[in-house]
Structure 1
Amino acid sequence: MSERRASFSDPDTHFQLMRSRSPVHVDGFKKGEPTGVVTCLSCWRSARNSDHICHRWDCPQKHARSRWYWRQH
């Protein structure tokens, strides 16, 4: 029987889509608009895709990936 793999969308994992805190002329996003950056709320590392976050070695969410990622690898 295969072991269940954690997904970033599971209710027991915690990620946040970051929003811009600056005006549009600073980063190209309106203040409050999602930037496309996903942050792990356990280790505070981030990336443009939750599958690409380089988590800290001791992060409890370091193996959380999308179901698409697990099917591909």
Structure 2
Amino acid sequence: MSLRSFSDPDTEFELLISEAGDRGDGHQVGEPYGIRCVYCGATIEIDGPDGHQTAIDDLPHATTCPQRDVVSQYYRDRFVR
């Protein structure tokens, strides 16, 4: 299985930044609250509703997304053999 790092220069993600004050979930203006894949638009909040810290590994990419193989080093070390 070939996996790429989210920090590779050929990957593209964007941080979602709060622009409208308290969104009701504790995020203030200018504070990052999520991650989005620029290819398929998959998004995930950085702090999930249960307080769980999410990461690039949790993005629900479309099945045709060219970045479905992008994971963190932590994920590779822990789950890939």
Structure 1, gaps ≥5 residues long: none
In 2, Cα distance between equivalents of 1:53 and 1:25:
21
- Cα drift, residue 26 of structure 1: 3.9
1:9 equivalent in structure 2: 7
Q: 1:64 to 1:25 in 2, by over 3 A?
A: closer
Structure 2, gaps ≥5 residues long: 47-54
RMSD across aligned positions (CA)? 1.7
User: Quick check: 2:2–2:69 contact (8 Å CA) kept in 1?
Assistant: no
Aligned length: 70
Of 43, 51, 58 in structure 1, the residue corresponding to residue 40 of structure 2 is 43
Q: Which amino acid aligns with 1:42?
A: Y
**Between the two proteins, what is the percent identity of the paired residues?**
34
TM-score by length of 1: 0.81
Superimposed CA distance per residue, residues 43-73 of structure 1 (whole angstroms, 9 cap, x where no aligned partner): 1101231100010000000110001101111
